[in-house]
Amino acid sequence: PGARPLAGHHVLVTSGPTHEPIDPVRYIANRSSGKQGHAIAAAAARAGARVTLVSGPVAIPDPPGVTTVHVETARQMLEAVEAALPADIAIMAAAVADWRAAEELDAKLKKDGTGAVAPLPLVQNPDILATLGRHHTLRPDLVIGFAAETNDLKAHAEAKLRSKGADWILANDVSPETGVMGGDDNTIHLVTTSGVEPWPKMTKTEVAARLVERIADRLGKSGSG
Ligand code: C5P
């Protein structure tokens, strides 16, 4: 492998939250900071890969040496991901909003004075990881997702491998007491079809470096790297 083990490979990464508009001033979002996905994009670039990062709205800078595409919604993220194909390796680290408002209102939703609350119908967003994992023509050789869970980490991650057609899932515990969401540390279990590898608690930068090592090992074994 050497110092640039991902040279010659295109790595596609998603990162950050998505923002799903409700009306011109409001949106549905989540607490993802983008730190983990951005660290992975940066580590892959340092390892010599050509990297495309599709990022939702975050407060951190674009990583150096990476082509960053900025999007807001899940649908825009999917479009940007599909536009970036083909890729050899896809790492879907974004915390994509599961739901969006069924309709984006043209005018600000108003209180009506009676205390009555208008219903806010939601519809499900497209699943970007599953779209790549099950892609008929341009499935990346290695499709990697995250599973942020608060309980039954491994069982949920194994189910996710199957349901999304992913090769690897990095499962992490995002219970509030762990401080993972927005924090600098992460405790990962790498779940693959051949088993579960628990990683010690480490920084998101270290997680990114270890993931790149695992990817380089795998490329070495399949003879394409
Ligand atoms: O189903 P769940 O949201 O727990 O799955 C998490 C994994 O799926 C993450 O890798 C995330 O980036 C990806 N995902 C996605 N598109 C969605 C929902 C999740 O790519 N709409």
ipTM for the whole predicted complex goes beyond 0.95:
yes
Q: Which of 76, 96, 99, 162 to mutate to test the pocket of ligand 1 (most atoms within 8 A of CB)?
A: 96
Indicate the pTM of the whole model.
0.94
Residue 22 backbone dihedrals phi, psi, to 5 degrees? -105, -50
Q: Which residues are annotated as catalytic? A: 30
Please report the atom of ligand 1 found closest to the CA of residue 148.
4
Q: In 10 A of CB 183, how many CB atoms?
A: 13
Q: Residue 112's pLDDT is what?
A: 86
Q: At residue 220, does pLDDT exceed 60?
A: yes
pLDDT tens-digit map of 63-104: 999 999 999 999 999 999 999 999 999 999 999 999 999 999
Please report the atom of ligand 1 found closest to the CA of residue 163.
1
Q: What's the token pair of residue 85?
A: 């194909």
Residue bearing the CA closest to ligand 1, atom 4: 147
Ligand 1 neighbours (beta carbon < 6 A): 14, 74, 92-94, 96, 125-129, 145-147, 160
Q: At residue 12, does pLDDT exceed 60?
A: yes
pLDDT tens-digit map of 15-74: 999 999 999 999 999 989 999 999 999 999 999 999 999 999 999 999 999 999 999 999
Q: Nearest-CA neighbor of 100 among 121, 70, 79, 77?
A: 121
Q: Which of 98, 129, 189, 207 to mutate to test the pocket of ligand 1 (most atoms within 8 A of CB)?
A: 129
Q: CA-to-CA distance for 42 and 8, rounded, in angstroms?
A: 16
DSSP string, 125-153: PP-HHHHHHT-SS---SEEEEEEEESS-H
- The type of residue at 125 is N
Q: Nearest-CA neighbor of 216 among 48, 77, 37, 81?
A: 48
Q: Nearest-CA neighbor of 67 among 46, 41, 48, 35?
A: 41
CA dihedral 48, 51, 57, 63 (to 10 degrees): 20
Helix or strand holding residue 11 (H, E): strand 10-15
Q: Which residues pair with 143 in a beta bridge?
A: 90
